[in-house]
Structure 1
Amino acid sequence: MAWGWIVGSTSLSMAYPEILISVSFLLSFFFFFFSYRLRRHKLPLNLPVVGMVPDFFAHISRIHDYATEFLAAAKWTFVFKGPWLLGMDMTITCDPDNVNYVFVTRSSNYPKGEEFAEIFDIFGDSLLNSDGEAWRSQRKMIHSLMSNRRFRSYELKASRDKVEKRLIPLLQGVGEQNNVVDLQDVFLRLTFDTACSLILGVDPGCLADDFPDVPFAKALGDAEEVIFLRHIVPKFWWKALRWLGVGEEKKLAMAHRVMDDFVTSTITRRKESISKEIGSREDGEDDEEAAADLLTVYMRQPTVREKNALEFDKFIKDNALNLLLAGRDTTAATLTWFFWLLSMHPHAEHEILEELKRHWPAAPDETPNPNTPFDRDGLGKLVYLHAALCECLRLYPPIHAQTREVAKPDVLPSGEKVRPGTLLVFHAYSMGRMEGIWGKDCMEFKPERWITESGDLRHEPAPKFFAFSCGSRICQGKDMAFIHMKTVAAAMLRNFRFEVVEGHVVEPKLSIILHMKNGLMVKVCKRERSVVTRSSGGRSSEEVTRERGDCCSMADWAPVVVGVVLFVLLSPGLVLEAPGTHRAVDFGSMRTNGKAVVLHTLVFFALYSVIIVALRLHIYTG
């Protein structure tokens, strides 16, 4: 019967072609009408069979800004339709009320879920992938380790040592050679070294003058890219690639092998070393000089040493990789975007420098010294720097999105009905760019929004400032991250200026971490500094010792040397009573006059000093 209807319809269409034309025009009209309405409101176009996927991939190169546009048009929550029958539908939101509801009020109904653990399978049963009781026990253990008194002291010392002994000398060398450097690469190396020291008690030495290849770093970057792709392609597709061991999944498997080998071998060596240290101590002895990284602190607990080896190794191995990702990539990404934003907003950089100048730590003789590192209390006084970092995290959160599954049917505060099988996506990147959340100046980099009228830091609720998640899963390393970032930023800004290379393209990378796609290529320039001294009466007076703001270079002395030679050779000198002392060289006889050479050299440097002082007074007072 159906076949007969089709044949009859075809015959009718052939007999009356105007019917076919009318139907075609009618369908085209509806298609383009609804397409126009969606485009006008910047919403993705939902096509038959394929859903909104074509629109999604058409904007993949700017996916975060595209999501911001359609979420703004949809009033902060939007139901994305994937291809039919593939289970790719998702509810995307940046509504703080939805965030609070899912992460705080009804968190038990919204686990990370099995699909999340499957996508992030390289992290095993770590805190990142856990739910329920397994998550609670691991979080309690990690919180206990991070709260340890000795670890907190070690944390600040390790961060300061890496900055003072590695980072600053490396940047000084780059500047002196007039080289261009990828600041993102520098930060990734710095944070990897620091994270390894804090977590495993080892220093891989990635932040070195020769910028050595780091297999683990490349492997982690590859893994992040492939995990991002797992989020945007059908599940059956990436699972098939994984089963066949080809394509991007092959790259992920190789990356996982590299990371696993590094973590396993490092933990094995450290376990042997720590066991010997523990065995050599007398009972009850408190060795304050011993290492205080997380692995050491964990192993020194008597209850831990009683666990079986397999249970111990699994906990350490699964969580070490998770903590390395959190400690390395999120901090490095934030610092990269932070220094780019400062290069675009000189007024903010100026405010930070003024704040640093006011709060420079005092040396042992009570004289403020720009080379004295900040302690924890000193870092706490850097309110504007903290505000600028918060503003950077608002605009460029390193974890740009989070997902949750639905255990039981529910209704979100925004009105959307959700049921098991629904994937919820919380887009932190878009949240920081919504006028209704942050005001009409939401697209501006404005650290002042984080400072109260009394000059204190303004607290914003976590569902609104979502960079560190919220609720029971809020980031445990938040304070540690700010300490490290402020230590790095303070040291770098008071020693150097950074000029982004002209023409360098800055755009986000497609990854689970918001890195820059092309890195951040900069020139390192020596910073003009003001050294603050205190008078004997305790009142502050300022002795300005301005340094050049040019890029550091050993070739800076070349013009001076050439000037001395030319002046000595060509100057007629001063008219003296003693004959024969006017010139250093008599070109007729080619005889030299040593007395005149010394005299002319002294005269040159006297004139040179007068000119330089005059120029600097003009520049710095004008």
Structure 2
Amino acid sequence: MAMLLIYAAITASLFCFLYLFHRRRSCKHPLMRDYPILGMLPPILFNLWRIHDFCTEVLKKQGGTGEFKGPWFTKMHYLITCDSLNVQHMLCKSFDNYIKGPEFREIFEPFGDGVVTADSETWKYFRTVLHSLIKQRRFETFVDKTVQKKVHTSLLPILDHVQQQGEMVDLQDVFNRFTFDNICSTIVGHDPKCLSIDFPEVAIERAFNESEESIFYRHTVPSSVWKFQKWLQIGQEKKMTEACKTFDEFIYSCIASKRQELSKCSREEMDNEAPFDLLTALITEERGRVHDDKFLRDAAFNFFVAGRETMTSALTWFFWLVTKHPLVEAKILEEIKDNFEANYEGVVGIEEVKKLVYLHGALCEALRLFPPVPIERKQAIKDDTLPSGHRVNGNTMILFSLYAMGRCEEIWGKDCLEFKPERWISERGEVVYAPAYKFIAFNAGPRICLGKDLAFVQMKMVAASILRKYRFQVVEGHSPTPSHSIVLLMKNGLKARIMKRL
């Protein structure tokens, strides 16, 4: 019996030695300490509350690129980078070799086969159709009127009401409701009126939040764990299933109503009178190909997430940064005053905000420091070598941290942690455009965001309309903590008090 125990101990020791030897050989550029069995997961879990700052620190120590290995017997093996040349290589120069991949689509299940998750011909078709719609002047005019109406009839009156009552308000919640109403009107032609004085709870809005939290959760645990939870319908996966059911019922009902509404219209009425929301445009401009309900559902969902969350995130962090930098706020107000008459009472429109260069620079800074999507994911098809010298094997999962890139001295200089709108303005007073693979908030290469310009003008319309009337004071002791979601929101919102400008 004693001999058996000795042999078992020797075998176990040899096994552990071989395991560790193999791990070290297969992981040549470890980002952090590799624990037996658990891999590098313990420090990630320990720092989950500050995960983006932690990853930034780790990447800086490793020169911008390194490998992460999760627990034994899991597929949590990633190459992680914040090197802009690596990003340029993957997103631009070798675009065809780096795809979203089947595992990405599995994790991002609610997105379906939309433009965010699709690859190859499906992605090209989606992008071609959407590009033809977004670039139409008619669509820009529709968005301009929709945003102006929402700002005038809902956003400003509610801020005025809160100010008069002397109440505290969660600005992130306000922006979330505003952008959700706005994106609903833009996509399906329906305003759910989330942004009301009584701040009602809307099931579809909550469902989108829960699905995004579930997607983030799927990134933090081995796939076998969340798949098992999905099979049992417990925990975060149960929330995901319920959320998917809620927003699918909403979107499919919108599609059915829209088809019925349009069936009663003549072609001439569709061209001249029908509102140019995205769903109407997709149904009426099918280019010889009939779009089934699944196609329309996936297109709508992808636009909901892209349009809603990026605006909410960007505006929330922008206003927080502005409240912390009064000199920047003063320069934004001075620019608004120089471009608009003092007694101007209307909502600033698309054409007007194009003049606001300093405001544009301030929004770019907010997006640089707090990109709405802090981490991107790619999968290599064939073996490759990155500009940093790191070897990439076929099927390797690669994560690049947009959050860390915004804090790289190599990209932005020694003042990279400063909120400095001036870095985006030339000596002639014009906007400086950084290469997309460095300023990565809107992606880069063939997948660069189609709605980038439209997003900027909408953010400027909202920011200018608010700042010229109100100033904010963040509640004392309130510190912004990033939420555990695929979008960089504040975990506890942005609590502030509103004061009217004199």
CA offsets 1:368-400 (integer angstroms, 9 cap, x no match): 632133333321110000000000000000000
Residues 336 and 464 of structure 2 are in contact (CA less than 8 Å); yes or no, is this contact kept in structure 1?
Answer: yes
Instruction: Note closer, same or farther for the CA distance 1:302–1:88 as it changes in structure 2 (3 Å cut).
Output: closer
Shift of residue 298 of structure 1? 2.3
Residues 151 and 297 of structure 1 are in contact (CA less than 8 Å); yes or no, is this contact kept in structure 2?
Answer: no
Q: Specify every segment of 5 or more residues in structure 1 that has no aligned partner in the other structure, as ranges.
A: 11-26, 28-33, 35-41, 363-367, 529-622
Distance in 2 (CA, whole Å) between partners of 1:296 and 1:437 is 42
After TM superposition, the score normalised by the length of structure 2 is 0.93
- Quick one: which of 172, 180, 188 aligns to 1:184? 172
**Aligned counterparts, 1:267-306, within 5 A:** 267-276=255-264, 278-279=265-266, 284=268, 288-301=272-285, 303=287
1:338 to 2:318 alignment: yes
Task: Read off the aligned partner of 2:254 and give its amino acid letter.
Answer: T
CA offsets 1:297-335 (integer angstroms, 9 cap, x no match): 22232646x62xxx4211111110110111111101110
**Aligned counterparts, 1:135-146, within 5 A:** 135-146=123-134
Task: Read off the aligned partner of 1:406 and give its amino acid letter.
Answer: A
Q: 1:153 — aligned with what?
A: 141
Distance in 1 (CA, whole Å) between partners of 2:443 and 2:3 is 58
Task: Read off the aligned partner of 1:335 and give its amino acid letter.
Answer: L
Shift of residue 418 of structure 1? 1.0
Distance in 1 (CA, whole Å) between partners of 2:7 and 2:64 is 49
- Quick one: which of 242, 245, 251 aligns to 2:239? 251
- Quick one: which of 461, 485, 492 aligns to 1:518? 492
Q: 2:78 — aligned with what?
A: 90
Distance in 2 (CA, whole Å) between partners of 1:286 and 1:323 is 22
- Quick one: which of 190, 196, 205 aligns to 2:184? 196
Residues 127 and 138 of structure 1 are in contact (CA less than 8 Å); yes or no, is this contact kept in structure 2?
Answer: yes
Aligned length: 486
**Aligned counterparts, 1:56-75, within 5 A:** 56-75=44-63
- 3-state DSSP class of the match of 2:498? strand
Q: 1:351 — aligned with what?
A: 331
Q: 2:97 — aligned with what?
A: 109
**Aligned counterparts, 1:558-597, within 5 A:** none
Distance in 2 (CA, whole Å) between partners of 1:110 and 1:275 is 42
Distance in 1 (CA, whole Å) between partners of 2:314 and 2:386 is 31
Distance in 1 (CA, whole Å) between partners of 2:286 and 2:62 is 55
CA offsets 1:491-512 (integer angstroms, 9 cap, x no match): 0000101111111121100100
Distance in 2 (CA, whole Å) between partners of 1:297 and 1:319 is 12
- 3-state DSSP class of the match of 1:181? strand
Distance in 2 (CA, whole Å) between partners of 1:204 and 1:274 is 20
CA offsets 1:464-514 (integer angstroms, 9 cap, x no match): 101000000001111111111000000000010111111112110010000
Instruction: Note closer, same or farther for the CA distance 1:43–1:123 as it changes in structure 2 (3 Å cut).
Output: closer
State which structure, 1 or 2, has the greater radius of gyration over its C-alpha atoms: 1
Instruction: Note closer, same or farther for the CA distance 1:7–1:98 as it changes in structure 2 (3 Å cut).
Output: closer
Q: 1:22 — aligned with what?
A: none
- Quick one: which of 368, 383, 386 aligns to 2:357? 383
Residues 44 and 56 of structure 1 are in contact (CA less than 8 Å); yes or no, is this contact kept in structure 2?
Answer: no
Task: Read off the aligned partner of 2:330 and give its amino acid letter.
Answer: H
After TM superposition, the score normalised by the length of structure 1 is 0.75
Distance in 2 (CA, whole Å) between partners of 1:413 and 1:287 is 50
1:464 to 2:444 alignment: no
- 3-state DSSP class of the match of 1:224? helix
Instruction: Note closer, same or farther for the CA distance 1:70–1:288 as it changes in structure 2 (3 Å cut).
Output: same
- 3-state DSSP class of the match of 2:162? helix
Task: Pick which of 261-270 and 391-400 moved more.
Answer: 261-270
Shift of residue 175 of structure 1? 0.3
Residues 178 and 194 of structure 2 are in contact (CA less than 8 Å); yes or no, is this contact kept in structure 1?
Answer: yes
Q: 2:447 — aligned with what?
A: 473
Task: Pick which of 381-390 and 495-504 moved more.
Answer: 495-504
Distance in 2 (CA, whole Å) between partners of 1:266 and 1:325 is 17
1:240 to 2:228 alignment: yes
Task: Read off the aligned partner of 1:137 and give its amino acid letter.
Answer: Y
Instruction: Note closer, same or farther for the CA distance 1:356–1:409 as it changes in structure 2 (3 Å cut).
Output: same
Distance in 2 (CA, whole Å) between partners of 1:285 and 1:49 is 66
Superposed structure 1 runs of 4+ greater than 6 Å apart: 7-10
CA offsets 1:272-295 (integer angstroms, 9 cap, x no match): 12222x23x6xx567544311112
Q: 1:403 — aligned with what?
A: 377
Distance in 2 (CA, whole Å) between partners of 1:125 and 1:115 is 13
Shift of residue 149 of structure 1? 2.2
Aligned alpha-carbon RMSD (Å) = 2.2
Q: 2:305 — aligned with what?
A: 325
Instruction: Note closer, same or farther for the CA distance 1:453–1:247 as it changes in structure 2 (3 Å cut).
Output: same
Distance in 2 (CA, whole Å) between partners of 1:195 and 1:133 is 27
1:508 to 2:482 alignment: yes
Task: Read off the aligned partner of 2:226 and give its amino acid letter.
Answer: W
Task: Read off the aligned partner of 1:387 and give its amino acid letter.
Answer: G
Task: Read off the aligned partner of 1:202 and give its amino acid letter.
Answer: H
Task: Read off the aligned partner of 1:337 and give its amino acid letter.
Answer: W
Q: 1:599 — aligned with what?
A: none
Distance in 2 (CA, whole Å) between partners of 1:9 and 1:446 is 61
1:175 to 2:163 alignment: yes
